[in-house]
Structure 1
Amino acid sequence: MNIIIIEDEKPAARLLQRKVEKLGLQVNTMLHSVEESIDWFQNNMHPDLIFLDIQLSDGLSFEIFESIDIKSAVIFTTAYDEYALRAFKLNSIDYLLKPIDEDDLEIAVQKFKARNSSASNLSLDFEMIKKMLINPIDRVYKKRFTIKMGQQLKMITIDEVECFYSENKGTYLHTFDNRNYLLDTTLEQLETELDPQHFYRVSRKFIIPMKGIKEIQLYSNSRLKVILPTYKEDEVIVSREKVNDFKTWIG
């Protein structure tokens, strides 16, 4: 597999290269600007997969696609805010949020392999994506959940939620009164429906609200442990790669 990384910060590019190569893949080329990338694509065979930083030192990376008809799959790497990320999710665009989590990287690579064709990305409307990032659409976020309980429906407001978690391929809502409810959705879908100012996905298993944080403790390997008021079934751990972003979120 032929892979290139386009990233203007060279230390970040080298770190991503090491993480990709830990998955048994080979990064063939690293590029660091729009101008350098355009010149490279004009003179080389296009790769199977591109890890593409959005904001480069000399402009948005979308300018590359405006100049070159690139025939490659793309996984965006971005430090854009959560509003922009929802635009990516809602349009089924692969991205990795900086700092890049190794588990998220592996999932993105496996998704690329499963598609078994780099041509699947050719229909992306890069002008549309560019507009979404520059002028993200205001969204109305979820305020309540309707849960079927036997022959009845129960309404749970967003203010009652202590956390969302996944377990045994199911997604659950846990309330402040220490009750669990099975939801007909996924954590990935919930991320697109929850207000990012109030909810944060600390790991592949948990999404927590700001108001649900009772205590934050230092944990092994530079990670953090979040204590919730009533949920005790499993430890809520903020991965090392997400610690800085999590600290920014909590202010």
Structure 2
Amino acid sequence: MPLLKQVSCSGLFLVLLLGGEVLAQTSKSEPDVQPGRVCNPSSWSRPEPRTEAERKERERWTAYWERLQSYLIQLPKDPDTLLAMPVYGARVRQVANTFGTTRSGWRTHEGQDIFAPKGTPVYSATSGFVWRIGEGQLGGLYVFVVGPGGRRYYYAHLERYAPGLKEGQKVTTRTLLGYVGNTGNARTTPPHLHFGVYSGRRRTCDYRVIDPLPLLVDRDWQRFTLNPARGR
């Protein structure tokens, strides 16, 4: 009988411990940043800003999402089924598939790395609009382009941006976005473009990280046209 009580108490303690952990996990929320990995219901709301910096950050993100909606109205509803190779001179067959591989800090690789000499031109893989231009700890200098179907294309680790590039600018597959580099957390690696594709939002629970490699096709770099039959 004492043993049974001991087991029961141990079981109760385990339930309480696990329940506390689950509660702690579900009560946590992440800022609505991009990229992201957690689905938050649309009813979730962030706490009110406590500082001027937090207020400006809230306003900045609100403006980005409002602009995104204005772009979507002008874009086709169906996403592209083919993506033009963004790195000048590169071929699809040269891309080693690293999508989903583990990274530091419990992360996975949310894209494909396309290696090329520093300063190699990077072009938009789709038509669309420049949604965001910025700099982050991981991605370094980056550009986000929103294309048909609302998919967002992430060009990271750039050495520099194309001259005159600006948010809201309309782009085609001939538009220069920047140049290959190794900024951000790629500073100890050979220069390359990290190319990622995203759709949906965590707050509406339809967020997806999409592997760009199956969609990429080679270009005829003299004519800047797609060459789907090459490099496969």
TM-score, shorter chain, exceeding 0.5: no
| Greater helix proportion | 1
Which has the bigger relative contact order, CA under 8 A and spacing at least 6?
2
TM-score, structure 1 normalization: 0.22
